[in-house]
Structure 1
Amino acid sequence: MSTGKKLIIFIVALLIIDQVVKIWIKTHMMIGDEFSVFGDWFKIHFIENNGMAFGMELGGGRWGKTVLSVFRLVAVVGIAWYLRHLIKQKAPTGVILSFGLIFCGAVGNIIDSMFYGMIFNDSYSQVATLFPKGGGYSSFLHGKVVDMLYFPLYEGFLPEWVPFWGNKFFVFFRPVFNLADSYITIGVLMLLLFHRKFFATQK
């Protein structure tokens, strides 16, 4: 089996996992619902966001959301083109895998933005329905990204001697994210930690 076909199977499998988890969360939980997976440090906590990875947002309301969604689409096309180039150039497997993860994560969140607003109703004070009779909560490109992975490794008041945050309640790690965000993060870290030499030798 060619490298390209293996990569396609890998990406499709990860996308399916990402979407199955998101759809389950959306159809079984309301915004703010959570349950513990491992003690107090790994929880499933359902939130939605209008923006980028780890809940960051781009200002501008619907306009900002549209710009972000279009940017994501352009970025995905660019990454797909570069992946094809890497495969043709017989780049190291780790490099191809890293960009495959980044591509997969970007597509996973684009699916939310493109379609979730049309195929789900909202999750406020209710569990959302897939393909509701009254239609979705928003339009094409304006869906919200579903996040659920929460790792509050430390929660408590910091000592007074800690600069800026002394004697204040502190949570580490606060961001809530999804599997697609994880794919992107892992892909970038793999490139930075293990494949910098590959880019140093490129013209």
Structure 2
Amino acid sequence: MQLVFIALIFLIDQLTKILAKTKLLYSNGVNIINGVFEFVYVENRGAAFGILKNKKFFLVGVTTFVIGGMLYYLFTNKELNKWYRASLILIVAGAIGNLYDRVFRGYVIDFIHVYYKTFFDFPVFNIADISVVIGTFLLALTMLFTKE
């Protein structure tokens, strides 16, 4: 069942990236909430916030190693509670989504832009990023508030 959830999140991520590329590549973006939220096409050739730009082989190697370790931990520890399991599934699925982009496209497609006029401008992100962030937050909470 874990692989089904990983595959589902991966597919949603990839479908939204394909849709973003198809609809946004040659546009100025789609404004959803004026001055706050828009969809815009960005090719990210680095990691989070664009760091390690053009370090594809390093990013692919580290990501592959981390995914492998997390999958091993996920499938060999049958006693994990549902919160640990869910957090690892979210992190792995998001990591696989962005890894796929790096390997087969040479860049990660980002398209969700949250900002507040000129005061606040968060880097553009995607569904895989959301999955990793939620999974990491859930993992931190689980580690803090459970006995495992």
- Alignment partners' CA distance in 2, 1:58 and 1:32: 27
User: Aligned-pair distance for 1:65?
Assistant: 1.6
Identity of aligned residues (%): 31
**TM-score under structure 2 length normalisation:** 0.90
User: Aligned-pair distance for 1:155?
Assistant: 2.0
175-184 or 19-28: bigger deviation = 19-28
Alpha-carbon displacement from aligned partner over 1:57-110 (angstroms, at most 9, x marks no partner) = 215x4xx22111111111111111111123x2x211011000110000100000
Contact 1:31 1:47 in 2 (8 A): no
Look up the match of 1:147.
Answer: 110
The question of 1:69 aligning with 2:60 is answered yes
Secondary structure of 1:149's aligned partner: strand
| Aligned equivalent of 1:23, options 12, 18, 33 | 18
- Alignment partners' CA distance in 2, 1:39 and 1:195: 38
Higher Cα radius of gyration? 1
Contact 2:110 2:124 in 1 (8 A): yes
Contact 2:35 2:117 in 1 (8 A): no
The question of 1:81 aligning with 2:49 is answered no
Look up the match of 2:51.
Answer: 57
User: Aligned-pair distance for 1:197?
Assistant: 4.1
- Alignment partners' CA distance in 2, 1:83 and 1:42: 35
Displaced runs of 4 or more, over 3 A: none
- Alignment partners' CA distance in 1, 2:60 and 2:27: 25
- Alignment partners' CA distance in 2, 1:85 and 1:31: 46
Look up the match of 1:134.
Answer: none
The question of 1:174 aligning with 2:133 is answered no
- Alignment partners' CA distance in 2, 1:48 and 1:144: 6
- Alignment partners' CA distance in 1, 2:65 and 2:103: 14
- Unaligned 5+ runs, structure 2: none
Corresponding letter in the other structure for 2:10: L
Alpha-carbon displacement from aligned partner over 1:138-186 (angstroms, at most 9, x marks no partner) = xxxxx1100001111x224xxxxxxxxxxxxx3x242110110110100
Look up the match of 1:167.
Answer: none
| Aligned equivalent of 2:41, options 25, 46, 49 | 46
- Alignment partners' CA distance in 2, 1:183 and 1:48: 19
Corresponding letter in the other structure for 1:20: L
- Alignment partners' CA distance in 1, 2:26 and 2:113: 14
- Alignment partners' CA distance in 2, 1:181 and 1:32: 23
The answer to which structure, 1 or 2, has the higher relative contact order (CA under 8 A, 6+ apart) is 2
- Unaligned 5+ runs, structure 1: 117-142, 157-169
